């Protein structure tokens, strides 16, 4: 290795050899590869924030990832014998790659994201939002991306670099190509070590670039886009008919007792990150983990569900969001938001509520806007405002690596919330209760003593559960004080498990179970998450034992708001309907009902907690029937989403969402909200206007110690993807 590097230096890189090298075919090629690699690293460092690398392997991968792909691509020219074409091809490939790199640099400056094929082809007008033209920002180092090409071509013109007549040695091109392939494969191998399932799970774009580089990312994205477009192209409107027929049969009628119970009220959805049902009513060392959520859970003003399951796949939070907004399932692999979100047709809650009942809409979240492709997806769903971590001060201790701490998110959201026209549909995505559940000592309640299960993760989980509980309580106090409470329905739900099956047995002691006979059904039972619909003024609330899942929330909520759902393509059923079918389909085709569960092909009795090894004929027939119900439901949903069939269907009174109408930059959002309030004048229904244009922020009391901290120039927020818990 040392010898090789020495040789490489003396023969190729040493300044005295520069011109001589550039005058050979091989030397010229080597120089282009080296220079392009340096330019890629320049972009990574100067423009892409070093891709937020967080461990030594990632650093190495980032520095090496341009080499393999560049060698492969550039070496294609080496096979060309005629000298003019050889040099021309090399320069052309280099120019093309430089252009791709530079376009990404410019795009990233505006959108903190990489260019997908859809963006390049202009299908995705969304990201440009009409302002791409004037908004290009140049950096002082930009000339470095082009200077090498200018100098090389200049030297060729003045004949300092002459075309080398001699073609390469017979096997040379093949050898270099192979080395390139070898480097790329090694690159991919180590990427997979550091981030398993990188390709199949479709992490966000920064991930792909960090591990594989701009070139492979673009090619992978192109393949993906092509496949999706083929699937979609082949789809015909008639395929929708089958789905419609299914939906019609699947429809569960409204329950008049609850229909319209929350009509006209604001809706606040609180997405309780990684929060499981088992934490409700749980006592540790004699103390409730979540006393406030428990009080909501048992309130006479709440309809709560204790057999409500998460049904997410690999898209985790984004799958939960997709189900809640659209009542369609996420995908069997990867995240629908990331994979299809760029040009998907949604008929989602924000648009339905807006068009049917005049709701304004906003999402609040402490993590970066591009995570899970939200900045794009929300536009397609018709969200008017997307108030992400990009809006807030996330410096110092204000954030965990997942974003702004929940207490601060709720508090900092008020200036926006109070400017929304009422009724509004506002969603809060909490994030502090996220693995690895580490929380600064200053945020921990000294009066709460967590468990001692033998797993730090589990013990910490209850600490962040408790913090989440306090955050929600502070927010409710504000709602009451500001007067919003009476006119607002609050929906709280957990998105998915917080303790994975690997760690779940550690829960046995706190749940009063036996760790030694922990089984698959125990794991399935833990997939329950809370669903609490709190409607101030309601007095006949109760805990409903219906088996259901996240797919069912949209129709349930819409019916509570007095909005009929018959016309929409929704795979869930109103949980309050007498016709609700109590079969919960998990994303992997497992399922659970009040009587049985099918988990990895084995049947369980959910009442006795027993495995049924040899089901009799009658039971087997029953199980088969349930399984085909589940398969059909998932297949229908997948068919609809993969082929984007909703583009062929416009429900009655529904106006297709035009994503290009939305602009989520902080500046325009602030201006827009102010303008709407001013223009409406006395007709403005926002809390701010109702309050005589006095902010209600002072009604917000938080004990978060960070709320007084001055901004610093450090942040812990790590832009990265879903199940990456590094750097924490």
User: Looking at the annotation, which residues are catalytic?
Assistant: 317
Do residues 348 and 324 touch, judged by C-beta distance below 8 A? no
The correct pick among 317, 384, 450, 527 for binding Mn ion (CB under 5 A) is 317
We find the least distance from the C-beta atom of residue 374 to Mn ion, in angstroms, to be 13
We find the least distance from the C-beta atom of residue 370 to Mn ion, in angstroms, to be 16
Name the closest residue to ligand GP9 (Cβ). Answer: 316
Q: With binding defined as CB under 6 A, does residue 399 bind ligand GP9? A: no
Say what angle helices 25-42 and 83-111 make with each other, to 10 degrees: 0
Q: With binding defined as CB under 5 A, does residue 310 bind Mn ion? A: no
Q: With binding defined as CB under 6 A, does residue 370 bind ligand GP9? A: no
How wide is the angle at C-alpha 583 spanned by C-alphas 578 and 587, nearest 5°? 135
What does the alpha-carbon distance between residue 320 and residue 330 come to, in Å, rounded to a whole number? 8
**Three-class SS of 446-472:** CCCCCCCCCCHHHHHHHHHHHHHHHHH
Q: Of Mn ion, ligand GP9, none, which one sits near residue 367, judging by CB under 5 to 8 A according to partner kind? A: ligand GP9
Q: With binding defined as CB under 6 A, does residue 722 bind ligand GP9? A: yes
We find the least distance from the C-beta atom of residue 372 to ligand GP9, in angstroms, to be 6
Nearer to Mn ion, 523 or 546 (CB): 523
The correct pick among 47, 495, 550, 574 for binding Mn ion (CB under 5 A) is 495
CA distances from 304 to 27, 59, 276, 300 (A): 71, 48, 14, 10
The correct pick among 152, 429, 531, 561 for binding ligand GP9 (CB under 6 A) is 429
- Render 178-194 in DSSP notation, one character per residue: HHHHHHHHHHHHHHHHH
Q: With binding defined as CB under 6 A, does residue 394 bind ligand GP9? A: no
CA distances from 219 to 102, 131, 222, 394, 572 (A): 16, 27, 5, 34, 37
CA distances from 50 to 203, 343, 369, 724 (A): 18, 29, 18, 17
Q: With binding defined as CB under 6 A, does residue 201 bind ligand GP9? A: no
We find the least distance from the C-beta atom of residue 724 to ligand GP9, in angstroms, to be 9
Do residues 323 and 348 touch, judged by C-beta distance below 8 A? no
Site mask for ligand GP9 (CB under 6 A), range 300-339, x = bound: ----------------xx----------------------
- Render 70-119 in DSSP notation, one character per residue: HHHHHHGGGG--SHHHHHHHHHHHHHHHHHHHHHHHHHHHHHSSPPPHHH
We find the least distance from the C-beta atom of residue 430 to ligand GP9, in angstroms, to be 9
Give the pair of three-digit tokens for residue 607. 């009442």
Nearer to Mn ion, 316 or 633 (CB): 316
How many Å separate Cα 381 from the centre of its chain? 14
What does the alpha-carbon distance between residue 232 and residue 238 come to, in Å, rounded to a whole number? 13
Do residues 314 and 721 touch, judged by C-beta distance below 8 A? no
We find the least distance from the C-beta atom of residue 402 to ligand GP9, in angstroms, to be 6
Site mask for Mn ion (CB under 5 A), range 244-273, x = bound: -----------------------------x
Stretch that binds Mn ion, among 61-69, 176-184, 488-496, 643-651 (CB under 5 A): 488-496
Do residues 73 and 177 touch, judged by C-beta distance below 8 A? no
DSSP, collapsed to helix, strand or coil, labels residue 269 as: strand
Q: With binding defined as CB under 6 A, does residue 371 bind ligand GP9? A: yes
We find the least distance from the C-beta atom of residue 723 to ligand GP9, in angstroms, to be 6
Stretch that binds ligand GP9, among 290-298, 428-436, 524-532, 708-716 (CB under 6 A): 428-436
What does the alpha-carbon distance between residue 338 and residue 205 come to, in Å, rounded to a whole number? 9
We find the least distance from the C-beta atom of residue 405 to ligand GP9, in angstroms, to be 13
Size of the site for ligand GP9 (CB under 6 A): 9
Look at the block and give the residue holding tokens 């805990």. Answer: 543
Q: With binding defined as CB under 6 A, does residue 373 bind ligand GP9? A: no
Q: With binding defined as CB under 6 A, does residue 348 bind ligand GP9? A: no
Q: Of ligand GP9, Mn ion, none, which one sits near residue 371, judging by CB under 5 to 8 A according to partner kind? A: ligand GP9
Show contacts with ligand GP9 in window 617-646 (CB under 6 A): none
Element (H, E) at 319: helix 316-326
The correct pick among 116, 307, 367, 411 for binding ligand GP9 (CB under 6 A) is 367
Stretch that binds Mn ion, among 33-41, 94-102, 309-317, 473-481 (CB under 5 A): 309-317
Closest CA to 12 of 28, 2, 144: 28
CA distances from 281 to 264, 291, 455, 506, 524 (A): 31, 8, 21, 18, 19
What does the alpha-carbon distance between residue 24 and residue 14 come to, in Å, rounded to a whole number? 15
Q: Of Mn ion, ligand GP9, none, which one sits near residue 429, judging by CB under 5 to 8 A according to partner kind? A: ligand GP9
Classify residue 658 by its DSSP letter: -
Q: With binding defined as CB under 5 A, does residue 432 bind Mn ion? A: no
Q: With binding defined as CB under 6 A, does residue 718 bind ligand GP9? A: no
We find the least distance from the C-beta atom of residue 723 to Mn ion, in angstroms, to be 10
Q: What is the binding site for ligand GP9 (CB under 6 A)?
A: 316-317, 367, 371, 402, 429, 431, 434, 722
User: Rule CB under 5 A: which residues touch Mn ion?
Assistant: 273, 316-317, 495
């Amino acid at each position: 290795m040392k010898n090789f590097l020495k040789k490489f230096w003396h023969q190729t890189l040493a300044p005295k050899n520069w011109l001589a090298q550039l005058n050979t075919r091989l030397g010229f090629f080597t120089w282009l590869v080296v220079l392009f690699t340096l330019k890629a690293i320049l972009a990574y460092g100067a423009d892409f924030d070093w891709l937020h690398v967080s461990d030594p392997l990632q650093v190495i991968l980032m520095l090496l990832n341009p080499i393999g792909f560049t060698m492969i691509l550039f070496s294609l020219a080496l096979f060309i014998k005629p000298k003019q074409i050889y040099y021309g091809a090399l320069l052309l490939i280099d120019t093309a790659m430089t252009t791709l790199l530079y376009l990404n640099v410019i795009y990233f400056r505006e959108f903190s994201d990489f260019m997908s094929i859809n963006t390049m082809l202009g299908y995705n007008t969304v990201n440009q939002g009409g302002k791409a033209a004037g908004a290009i920002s140049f950096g002082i180092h930009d000339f470095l991306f082009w200077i090498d090409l200018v100098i090389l071509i200049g030297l060729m013109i003045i004949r300092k670099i002459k075309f080398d007549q001699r073609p390469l040695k017979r096997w040379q091109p093949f050898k270099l190509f192979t080395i390139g392939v070898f480097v790329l494969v090694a690159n991919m191998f180590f990427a997979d070590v550091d981030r398993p399932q990188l390709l199949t799970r479709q992490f966000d774009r920064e991930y792909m670039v960090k591990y594989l580089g701009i070139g492979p990312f673009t090619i992978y994205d192109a393949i993906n886009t092509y496949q999706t477009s083929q699937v979609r192209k082949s789809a015909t409107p008639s395929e929708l008919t089958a789905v419609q027929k299914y939906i019609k049969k699947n429809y569960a009628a409204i329950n008049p007792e609850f229909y319209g119970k929350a009509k006209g009220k604001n809706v606040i959805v609180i997405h309780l990150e990684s929060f499981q049902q088992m934490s409700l009513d749980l006592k540790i060392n004699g103390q409730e983990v979540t006393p406030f959520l428990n009080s909501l859970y048992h309130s006479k003003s709440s309809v709560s569900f204790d057999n409500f399951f998460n049904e997410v796949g690999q898209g985790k939070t984004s799958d939960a969001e997709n189900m809640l907004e659209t009542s369609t399932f996420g995908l069997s692999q990867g995240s629908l938001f990331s994979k299809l979100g760029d040009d998907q047709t949604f008929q989602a809650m924000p648009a339905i509520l807006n068009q049917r009942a005049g709701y304004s809409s906003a999402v609040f979240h402490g993590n970066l806007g591009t995570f899970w492709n939200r900045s794009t997806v929300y536009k397609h769903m018709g969200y008017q405002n997307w108030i992400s971590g990009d809006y807030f001060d996330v410096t110092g201790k204000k954030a965990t690596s997942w974003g702004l701490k929940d207490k601060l998110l709720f508090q900092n959201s008020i200036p926006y919330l109070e400017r929304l026209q009422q009724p509004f549909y506002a969603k809060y995505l909490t994030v502090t209760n996220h693995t690895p559940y580490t929380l600064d000592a200053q945020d921990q309640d000294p009066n709460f003593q967590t468990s001692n299960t033998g797993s730090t993760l589990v013990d910490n989980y209850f600490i962040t559960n408790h913090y989440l509980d306090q955050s929600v309580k502070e927010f409710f106090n504000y709602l009451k004080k500001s007067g919003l409470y009476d006119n607002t329905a609050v929906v709280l739900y957990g998105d998915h498990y917080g303790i994975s099956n690997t760690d779940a047995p550690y829960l046995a002691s706190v749940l009063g179970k036996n760790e030694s006979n922990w089984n698959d059904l125990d794991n399935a039972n833990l997939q329950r998450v809370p669903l609490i619909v709190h409607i101030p003024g309601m007095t006949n609330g109760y805990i409903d034992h219906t088996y259901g899942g996240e797919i069912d929330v949209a129709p349930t909520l819409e019916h509570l708001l007095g909005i009929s759902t018959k016309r929409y393509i929704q795979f869930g059923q109103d949980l309050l309907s007498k016709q609700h079918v109590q079969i919960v389909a998990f994303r992997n085709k497992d399922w659970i009902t009040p009587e049985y569960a099918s988990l990895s092909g084995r049947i369980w009795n959910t009442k006795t907690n027993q495995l049924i090894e040899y089901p009799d004929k009658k039971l087997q027939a029953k199980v088969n029937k349930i399984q085909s119900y589940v398969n059909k439901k998932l297949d229908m949903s997948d068919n609809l989403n993969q082929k984007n069939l909703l583009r062929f269907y416009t429900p009655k009174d529904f106006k297709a969402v035009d994503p290009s109408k939305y602009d989520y930059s902080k500046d325009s959002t602030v201006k827009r909200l102010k303008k709407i309030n001013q223009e409406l004048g006395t007709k403005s229904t926002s809390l701010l206007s109702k309050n005589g244009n006095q902010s209600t922020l002072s009604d917000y009391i938080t004990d978060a110690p960070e709320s007084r901290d001055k901004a610093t120039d450090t942040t812990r927020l790590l832009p990265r993807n879903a199940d990456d818990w590094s750097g924490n």
